Amino acid sequence: MGDEQRNLDRRTVTVIGAGSFGSALASVAAANGHSVTLVARRQDVVDEINTAHRNERYLPGVNLDPHLVATTGHDAVWDSDLVLLAVPSHAMRETCRRIHTSLTPRAVVVHATKGLETGSRLRMSDVIFQELPELERRRLAILTGPSHAEEVSRGMPTTLVVASLSRGAAEYVQDALMNRALRLYTNPDVIGSELGGALKNIIALGCGISDGLLFGDNARAAIMTRGLVEIARLGVRLGAAYSTFSGLTGVGDLIVTCTSRHSRNWNTGYLLGKGVSLQEALDRVGMAVEGIRTTQVALELATQVQAPMPIASAIGDILFHGKSPGDAVGDLMGRTRTHEMEEYVQDSTASWEYE
């Protein structure tokens, strides 16, 4: 892609997934002057977007760009320059199967899903490559970083990361979406960027549980700090660059997800800390909570690569084994003493595989 002249003019963009983030990104792309189609599952959502320029279920009170067009047809990706996948992790494989025959060879595909696939334990990029075997590796990018859709859709200042093996693909997405309110940085570390965005949801669940138990700021700071250690520990053993986790898709995303009431994962944890059952908490939140599945997959991966994750393990005991939040915290705090610098991670850096 490095040989191609980047076209900064109007592009044809298809966004699949009309949840909060997909709708926000589609509106941003339309406001940037591109021809944008948003693919939704439900006809009532399509009708509301096309007639009222709103998506009240996922972005209440937000006016979407009036040039945005919605449809239920996945064949909208035909002849698209940029295809953005903003679906939950459990829907990624089926979504790729639906667009497989319509995707053109020139399209750049970017996903904005912060999760891991259960069963296979795969990152979303691996799922995409399995289901879209004709897609060149240099034409896939990942969009991640600290971002609440509610704020993106209202034009509040936000920074994101576009990660890709290809500098050209990363900069293509950067040029398409960046504006005065949304700033995008590029990064060649696909593994670290995906894992940072997924694993921070586990720690956000933990912070929500802590806040629900009224443990205060000290406990939240401890969970976030030591949680970042666990994220980096697992990430590096899975091939990520350690330095990635000190950036927007590591520390940045961790801060925004662990401290805001916009966060679905924090809200779910908060309800669990208040004694609400997991199913009731999920019903109250009403949207996909990626941290639940991610906790299960991360603990399986941690066992596989022998990466201790005591905070994630404690959260897993609450989610999957019926342990009370109070007992889980007691067991976590009562572990054998250790040093904060109990391990040194050999730093590694990522570089562009394609220009």
**Domain layout of the chain by residue ranges:** 12-188, 192-333
Distance CA 321, CA 315 (A): 10
Confidence at residue 261, expressed as pLDDT on a 0 to 100 scale: 85
- β partners of residue 39: 16, 71
* 99-to-73, 104, 109, 136, 145 alpha-carbon distances in Å: 10, 10, 11, 15, 26
Choose among 241, 249, 232, 247: nearest CA to 302: 232
Confidence at residue 232, expressed as pLDDT on a 0 to 100 scale: 96
Which residue matches tokens 């891991």?
116
Confidence at residue 2, expressed as pLDDT on a 0 to 100 scale: 40
- Given a contact cutoff of 8 angstroms between Cβ atoms, the answer to whether 144 and 290 are in contact is no
Domain 12-188 classification at class level: alpha beta
Choose among 49, 53, 39, 146: nearest CA to 84: 39
Confidence at residue 178, expressed as pLDDT on a 0 to 100 scale: 96
Pairing verdict, β 140-144 and 158-164: antiparallel
Q: In this structure, what token pair is assigned to residue 103?
A: 């995707």
Half-sphere exposure of 104 (CA within 13 A, CB side): 14
Confidence at residue 6, expressed as pLDDT on a 0 to 100 scale: 38
Confidence at residue 355, expressed as pLDDT on a 0 to 100 scale: 80
CATH 1.10.10.10 fits 192-333, yes or no: no
- The number of residues making up the chain comes to 355
What lies within 8 Å, CB to CB, of 293 at 6+ separation is 89, 90, 115, 116, 118
Low-confidence spans in the chain with pLDDT less than 70: 1-8, 336-349
Active site residue 200: yes
* 28-to-116, 144, 184, 270, 313 alpha-carbon distances in Å: 26, 15, 13, 31, 38
Confidence at residue 341, expressed as pLDDT on a 0 to 100 scale: 57
Task: Summarize pLDDT for 4-45 with one digit per residue, the tens.
Answer: 333 447 899 999 999 999 999 999 999 999 999 999 999 999
The contacts found for 60-64 with CB under 8 angstroms, 24 or more apart, are 62/24, 62/27, 62/150, 62/153, 62/154, 64/23, 64/26, 64/27, 64/30, 64/153
- Give how far the C-alpha of residue 341 lies from the chain's centroid of Cα atoms, to the nearest Å: 29
List the strands of the sheet with 182-187, edge to edge: 69-71, 35-39, 12-16, 82-85, 108-111, 140-144, 158-164, 182-187
Choose, from 114, 200, 274, 323, the residue flagged as catalytic: 200
